[in-house]
Structure 1
Amino acid sequence: MIDKTVSAAFCVPFFGPLPPYFIHWVKSCEINQGHFHWFVYSDRVRRGGRLNRAVTVIPYGVDAMASDFKKILGIDIHRGNFRKICDWRLLFYSLRRNVEPLDRYDLIGYTDMDMIYGDLARFMPGKTLGHDIISADDGHPCGPFTLMRREAAAALADRPRVREEMERAEYREFDESPELMEILSPGGKAFCQAHPLQPAMSAGVACRNTFSIWDRGRVTVWDRRGCRMEGGFHHFSRFKGRKRFRVRTGAIAAPAWGVCKFGILPAASRRAFWPLIMSLFI
């Protein structure tokens, strides 16, 4: 469990229309307001401000980002491949530390939006600040959830290898590479494991056949073998973008909702629970 004095900020650039599950993502952040804060950089936001006590939105476009990379860091980025945002976000601390209050936080992180969070502090490793990097995948950084000590995040902009990847046109998953882990933590002070932060990817869970329940701020992942595991978050990247994945309008108002291959739907009754169960077998 995270030390009660430790705080963390995520920098989340997202260009283009915000996804239909954005309000659920924002709602799931809220329980973490005591320790975590999300700064969302969007070209679809006209006015910045807090959406709740855990999420701040900031108007910020691609041109402004490219200009800041050049002006602040001396890096020319290629804007033709927006998959590269996964790498560019590694340096958002250096880009924005003089604009947002990022220096108030002990840890700086990157994360995705196709996910829902539970009570993250309950699933963080002990002696949190004894790690240079904390991720929710085994043996390497995790695109959906990685935290870096602020000092380690600050040092990235001066590393030639990192700068080389920022300027590269193609995306090669540098943000999830063991090489990045070695750069961030040359002394091996790393916590990189799926359990217990990301239960869907933990050992013993049938990761290809899962759904999750968000219930008043807690996230539990179920698999088709009946395994249930509470954890820090559920990353539903495999589900999004498919025709069958629909966000039900009534889900956000429900005290509990589920995320499965059929979308996001209310899950506050036994009857409403059946589509989630069926999603494991259809």
Structure 2
Amino acid sequence: MTAPHPAAPAPTTAGRLHGKVALVTGAGAGIGQGCALLFAEQGATVVGCDLDPAAAERTRELAADRGLRIDVTAPLDMTVPADARRFADEAFARHGRIDALVTAGAIAPRMATAEEMDFESQWGPTMRGETDVVFLPVQAAWPHLKASGGGSIVNFASVNAFRGSSTFGMVAHCAGKAAVLGLTRQLAVEGGPSGIRANTISPGMVRTPATESAGAHEGAARDAVLARIPLGRVGRPEDIAWCAVYLISDESAWVTGGNFPVDGGVLAK
């Protein structure tokens, strides 16, 4: 007589992130807002920050409209070490643990070619806005992740860490995003013994307030962008957020040091 198969696990409605405390920088708009909202829907306790108080309030209101709660502190500047420490320290003190950090905060890069770029007013601010906003919150959250028994860090590189652009002058942006890839791989090596995982997501063009203000969705620039995307549309913040859900969930417990392109197929071309 054949032994019966074990019963399948009972389905749960608690969400894939139930019980996790997730920190999200740049939670006021764009990808950060998309991550914060989706994490809350998936059961996480979400603590966000933003530089813009009005944007932070919009995220709180959007969450409330969905029956969710997201705490977003603003203004906090992730290029300032004291602000990054305050963000992580207060979240840990309030909730007793940190399970995930998603560094979605960003400062709009200065678009210029190598020949035209000014070192002081364009290169320096872009590099701070691409790399400091990743390193400083990671450094601030690191001891709390260790104290919590480990956790997941998700940083954002870009398809522009792998390819250049003939449409925009992106020399500083490409350099900054490539730096995030290298930084994150080293974090994975250093964090492994403490159970801290670190991965990057590399988005393609996503419609956000920042890309809209840069004119990326208008006229010839829009046509050039769409011509590179096999799936024929730009991304939405939730397209990126679903990948982040996986990376901070227990489903990815053996995933670290990786990069996940979410780009509509741009890097396949």
The alignment's TM-score, normalised by the length of structure 2, stands at 0.35
Instruction: Specify which structure has the higher proportion of strand.
Output: 1
Instruction: Specify which structure has the higher proportion of helix.
Output: 2
The alignment's TM-score, normalised by the length of structure 1, stands at 0.34
